[in-house]
């Protein structure tokens, strides 16, 4: 089962890659012209997101490079310690919604130092995989259609992230307790 799931994405990709153009060809769609037109559209869309991505990247790197992010993680650590959440994983919780590569770096460091199969390594991996990078998704999705007033999209995503982390933490507790 696990093996099947692991390779599902790998099999789906070539099937789509062959299947869609073949089906379109059978349906009489001019395959090459249509693909190129779509590719052109894709290029325009991604180029259009640059100003938005640049703005949020600059903001985040300002926050991170100045040491403000570390400061926030440190103080949040004190806040969350009574809940039984190990302080080592706090940088993951704080960084995860802001920067995907940043939190993957923190997770990698924890796995390297403590080992991937220790209980701490397990928690770090679960938290890393629990959600996606909300800031990035909100920025690129709305940026691509030129929408600046995102209303409650980001707060709602962050609330989702908090619940995702909580669930991951509870499952981890159960897994470790069951060992």
Partner 1 sequence: MYELSVYLGLGEGCVMNAVWLVLIISGSVVALMTGNVDALMSSVLEGAYDAVQLVIGLAGIFCLWVGIERLANESGLIDALARVTRPVLGPLFPHVKDEEKIMGAISATIISNILGLSSQTPLGLKAMAQIRQVHGETYQAIHSMITLVIISAAGFCIFPSGVIALRAALGSQNPAIVAGPTAVAGLVSTCAGLLAHRLFSKRWDETQGGSKLP
* Shortest distance, position 91 Cβ to partner 1, whole Å: 16
The footprint of partner 1 on residues 129-148 (CB under 8 A) is 129-135, 137-142, 144-148
The footprint of partner 1 on residues 146-175 (CB under 8 A) is 146-157, 159-168, 171-172, 175
How far apart (Å, rounded) are the C-alpha atoms in residues 95 and 101? 9
| Nearer to partner 1 among residue 62 and residue 79 (C-beta) | 62
Binds partner 1 (CB under 8 A): choice among 79, 82, 117, 178: 117
Binds partner 1 (CB under 8 A): choice among 76, 88, 116, 119: 116
Closest of 75, 97, 79 to residue 154, by C-alpha = 97
Binds partner 1 (CB under 8 A): choice among 55, 75, 79, 87: 55
Residue 110 structure tokens: 């924890």
- DSSP letter string over 89-120? GHHHHHHTTT-HHHHHHHHHHHHHHH-TTSHH
Angle, alpha carbons 114-120-123 (nearest 5°): 135
The footprint of partner 1 on residues 8-37 (CB under 8 A) is 8-9, 12-13, 16-17, 20-21, 23-24, 26-27, 29, 31, 34-37
Q: Total binding residues for partner 1 by CB under 8 A?
A: 102
* Shortest distance, position 177 Cβ to partner 1, whole Å: 14
* Shortest distance, position 82 Cβ to partner 1, whole Å: 22
- Tell me the CA distances in angstroms from 52 to 55, 88, 101, 133, one per residue in order: 5, 32, 18, 15
Residue 91, interface with partner 1 (CB under 8 A)? no
- Which residues, 6+ apart, have CB-to-CB distance to 72 below 8 Å? 94
> The tokens 């130092």 sit on which residue?
113
Residue 128, interface with partner 1 (CB under 8 A)? yes
């Amino acid at each position: 089962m696990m093996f099947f799931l692991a390779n599902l994405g790998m099999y789906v990709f070539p099937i789509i890659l062959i299947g869609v153009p073949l089906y379109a060809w059978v349906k009489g769609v001019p395959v090459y012209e249509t693909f190129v037109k779509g590719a052109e559209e894709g290029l325009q869309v991604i180029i259009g997101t640059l100003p938005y991505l640049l703005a949020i990247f600059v903001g985040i790197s300002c926050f991170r490079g100045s040491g403000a992010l570390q400061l926030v993680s440190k103080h949040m650590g004190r806040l969350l310690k009574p809940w039984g959440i190990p302080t080592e994983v706090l940088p993951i919780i704080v960084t995860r919604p802001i920067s995907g590569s940043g939190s993957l770096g923190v997770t990698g460091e924890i796995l390297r130092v403590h080992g991937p199969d220790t209980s701490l390594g397990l928690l770090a991996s679960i938290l890393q995989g629990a959600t996606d990078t909300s800031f990035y998704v909100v920025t690129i999705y709305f940026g691509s259609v030129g929408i600046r007033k995102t209303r409650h999209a980001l707060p709602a995503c962050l609330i989702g992230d908090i619940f995702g982390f909580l669930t991951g933490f509870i499952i981890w507790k159960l897994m470790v307790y069951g060992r």
